[in-house]
């Protein structure tokens, strides 16, 4: 192994500016030519994590992987490079011990800066990574008052976010930061996304909703680049509530990622870096996430400073169910209804189930109206028939959650869920 002073100088310079991908790609090629394929591959893949279509880095990675004996990886990189730039010749394999000596090649003098000023000038002129336009951002349009029930959840959110914001002098006195992360978890259909949107409305912040498809990409490094661009967009629009749905899919436990899922490790690492990295400024950025399966989330994401606060969003109780029914029937023609009776008959149903009951009752009333030629209001009978036809949608989730509450709760993460299950058994 040789240690070229030019290589070492450029590697030292990259320490100060690790994001200069053109220079790093050139260093990777120099490392490969110097007989250091492992370092060449590491630098080339760093470039590809940010610029997946960087042809030079792809060809260097292919040659380095082949030199290290990873033929499958070399073939994959080479095939992608050929697809992006079919006119360029493929990178030949490195010479073996019996190969004839290669003809000398002329050095690329222009690629090696001579002075520090030239290095700084080239870095300034290098193109920045294009930020992906993903997700939707805008005003929330609702507040917590628009959500029926969930009194315990609203109280927890008020203490975590709203009180510090509304009392800036008290917040400064106690040193309470406006940055933070909170995980909403629980069975599907119980209003986690709606709560996040309403909280943004309470904060007067922009609501930036991100789904799974907004982050994940088939190309190597693109998912990490998407995630970095999402956080940068949120920081430019502060105050902003950044909401990630399906966090269990985005932040899977890295110990469970093997084979084809290993590319997700980079997504988890990027998420960790964005949440509390040394170079990030998240003041005024509120990061919320929702998950139906928190037991699948990497424990590093749940450590202090990240998603350190968790709120269990349970199926609505009887008072909340009555409020949800009233909310979904608001503005529709109805008879005098006994919603308390319907609420008692729908124990164990989610908010989505209750919305479906109201929709089915509405459809029945509309059908009757079309048959009679006049408006037939929604009646108690319509609601009762709809309630009997709708089955709770969270039964399977409850069975899975019960197993974690009983047998996987050594750290106490599911104490609140265990208390809820014990209460239901009484």
Last residue of a domain, one of 100, 125, 150: 125
Q: What's the CA gap between 409 and 49, in Å, rounded? A: 37
From residue 58, alpha-carbon distances to 73, 130, 132, 291, 405 in Å are 11, 19, 21, 36, 47
Q: What's the CA gap between 41 and 63, in Å, rounded? A: 9
Handedness of CA 105, 29, 226, 238 (dihedral sign): negative
- Residue 106: what pLDDT? 40
Q: What's the CA gap between 349 and 360, in Å, rounded? A: 15
Of 77-81, 341-345, 381-385, 392-396, the one with minimum mean pLDDT is 77-81
Distance of CA 177 to the CA centre of its chain: 22
- Residue 359: what pLDDT? 96
Does residue 261 sit in the same domain as residue 328? no
> Average pLDDT, stretch 308-332?
89
Residue 131 lies in a domain: no
DSSP for residue 185: E
Q: In what order do the strands lie in the sheet with 136-138?
A: 136-138, 206-210, 240-244, 285-291, 180-185, 309-312
Does residue 193 sit in the same domain as residue 227? yes
From residue 80, alpha-carbon distances to 63, 84, 273 in Å are 13, 6, 28
Q: What's the CA gap between 293 and 397, in Å, rounded? A: 9
> Average pLDDT, stretch 300-329?
87
Indicate the SS3 state at residue 172: helix
pLDDT exceeds 50 at position 128: no
- Residue 212: what pLDDT? 84
Q: Provide the pLDDT confidence category of residue 420 given band limits of 50, 70 and 90.
A: confident
Residue 246 lies in a domain: yes
Query: pLDDT tens, 379-400?
Result: 999 999 999 999 999 989 999 9
- Residue 304: what pLDDT? 78
- Residue 15: what pLDDT? 78
Residue 208 lies in a domain: yes
Residue 380 lies in a domain: yes
Does residue 264 sit in the same domain as residue 335? no
DSSP for residue 354: H
> Average pLDDT, stretch 273-302?
84
Last residue of a domain, one of 125, 151, 173: 125
pLDDT exceeds 90 at position 342: yes
Query: pLDDT tens, 89-109?
Result: 544 554 444 545 544 444 433
> Average pLDDT, stretch 241-268?
77
Residue 59 lies in a domain: yes
Of 134-138, 155-159, 175-179, the one with minimum mean pLDDT is 175-179
- Residue 117: what pLDDT? 61
> Average pLDDT, stretch 352-370?
95
pLDDT exceeds 60 at position 311: yes
Q: Provide the pLDDT confidence category of residue 116 given band limits of 50, 70 and 90.
A: low
**Cross-strand partners of 54:** none
Does residue 235 sit in the same domain as residue 146? yes
Q: What's the CA gap between 76 and 78, in Å, rounded? A: 5
Pairing of strands 309-312, 240-244: unpaired
Q: What's the CA gap between 101 and 307, in Å, rounded? A: 57
Q: What is the DSSP secondary-structure string of 191-255? A: SHHHHHHHHHHHHT-EEEEE-HHHH--SSTTHHHHHHHHHHHHHHHT-SEEEEES-HHHHTB-GG
> Average pLDDT, stretch 288-306?
88
Residue 225 lies in a domain: yes
Query: pLDDT tens, 276-288?
Result: 765 677 777 889 9
Q: What CATH number did the domain enclosing 354 receive?
A: 1.10.8.60
Question: What's the predicted TM-score (pTM) here?
Answer: 0.64
From residue 401, alpha-carbon distances to 200, 239, 287 in Å are 29, 35, 25
Of 64-73, 366-375, 378-387, the one with minimum mean pLDDT is 64-73
pLDDT > 90 in the chain, percent: 24
Residue 37 lies in a domain: yes
pLDDT exceeds 80 at position 178: no
Q: What CATH number did the domain enclosing 78 receive?
A: 1.25.40.10
Q: What CATH number did the domain enclosing 282 receive?
A: 3.40.50.300
Does residue 201 sit in the same domain as residue 258? yes
Does residue 150 sit in the same domain as residue 277? yes
- Residue 377: what pLDDT? 94
Q: What's the CA gap between 263 and 236, in Å, rounded? A: 28
Indicate the SS3 state at residue 179: coil
> Average pLDDT, stretch 57-80?
86
pLDDT exceeds 60 at position 202: yes
Q: How many domains are contained in the chain? A: 4
> Average pLDDT, stretch 47-56?
81
Does residue 160 sit in the same domain as residue 269? yes
- Residue 264: what pLDDT? 74
Q: What's the CA gap between 339 and 223, in Å, rounded? A: 47
Of 123 and 414, more confident: 414
Q: Up-side HSE of residue 31: CA atoms within 13 Å toward CB?
A: 26
pLDDT exceeds 80 at position 5: no
pLDDT exceeds 90 at position 345: yes
Does residue 28 sit in the same domain as residue 146? no
Does residue 194 sit in the same domain as residue 324? no
- Residue 105: what pLDDT? 41
Residue 130 lies in a domain: no
- Residue 403 lies in domain: 395-425
Does residue 410 sit in the same domain as residue 373? no
Indicate the SS3 state at residue 318: helix
DSSP for residue 162: I
Q: What's the CA gap between 375 and 329, in Å, rounded? A: 16
> Average pLDDT, stretch 117-133?
52
Does residue 326 sit in the same domain as residue 280? no
Q: Where are the beta strands (DSSP E) in 257-379?
A: 285-291, 309-312
Segments in 100-177 forming alpha helices (H): 116-125, 151-157, 163-166, 168-174
Last residue of a domain, one of 125, 149, 177: 125
Does residue 17 sit in the same domain as residue 117? yes
Pairing of strands 136-138, 180-185: unpaired
pLDDT exceeds 50 at position 240: yes
């Amino acid at each position: 192994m040789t240690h070229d002073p030019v290589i070492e100088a450029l590697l030292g310079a990259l320490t100060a500016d690790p994001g200069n991908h053109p220079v790093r790609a050139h260093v990777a090629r120099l490392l490969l030519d110097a007989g250091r394929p492992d370092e060449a591959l590491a630098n080339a893949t760093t470039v590809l994590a940010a610029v997946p279509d960087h042809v030079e880095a792809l060809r260097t990675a292919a040659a380095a992987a082949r030199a290290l004996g990873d033929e499958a990886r070399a073939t994959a990189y080479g095939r992608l490079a050929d697809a992006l730039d079919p006119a360029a010749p493929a990178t030949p394999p490195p010479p073996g011990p019996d190969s004839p000596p290669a003809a000398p090649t002329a050095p690329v003098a222009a690629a090696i800066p001579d002075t520090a000023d030239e290095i700084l000038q080239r870095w300034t002129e290098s193109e920045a990574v294009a930020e992906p336009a993903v997700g939707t951002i805008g005003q929330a349009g609702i507040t917590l008052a628009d959500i029926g029930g969930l009194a315990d959840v609203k109280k927890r959110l008020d203490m975590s976010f709203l009180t510090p914001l509304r009392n800036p002098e008290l917040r400064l006195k106690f040193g309470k930061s406006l940055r933070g992360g909170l995980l909403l978890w629980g069975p599907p259909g119980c209003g986690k996304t709606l709560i996040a949107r309403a909280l943004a409305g309470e904060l007067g912040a922009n609501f930036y909703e991100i789904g799974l498809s907004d982050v994940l990409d088939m190309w190597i490094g693109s998912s990490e680049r998407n995630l970095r661009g999402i956080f940068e967009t949120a920081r430019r629009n502060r105050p902003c509530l950044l909401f990630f749905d399906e966090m269990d899919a985005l932040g899977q436990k890295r110990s469970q990622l093997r084979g084809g899922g290993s590319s997700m490790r980079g997504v988890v690492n990027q998420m960790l870096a964005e949440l509390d990295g040394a170079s990030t400024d998240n003041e005024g950025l509120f990061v919320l996430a929702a998950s139906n399966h928190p037991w699948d989330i990497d424990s590093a994401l749940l450590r202090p400073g990240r998603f350190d606060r968790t709120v269990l969003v349970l199926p609505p109780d009887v008072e909340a169910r009555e409020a949800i029914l009233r909310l979904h029937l608001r503005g529709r023609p109805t008879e005098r209804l006994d919603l308390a009776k319907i609420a008692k008959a729908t124990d164990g149903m989610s908010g989505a189930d209750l919305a479906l009951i109201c929709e089915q009752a509405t459809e029945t009333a509309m059908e009757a109206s079309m048959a009679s030629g006049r408006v037939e209001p929604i009646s108690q009978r319509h609601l009762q028939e709809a309630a009997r036809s709708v089955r709770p949608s969270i039964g399977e989730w409850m069975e899975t959650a019960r197993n974690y509450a009983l047998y996987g709760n050594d750290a106490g993460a599911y104490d609140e869920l265990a208390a809820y299950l014990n209460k239901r058994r009484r």
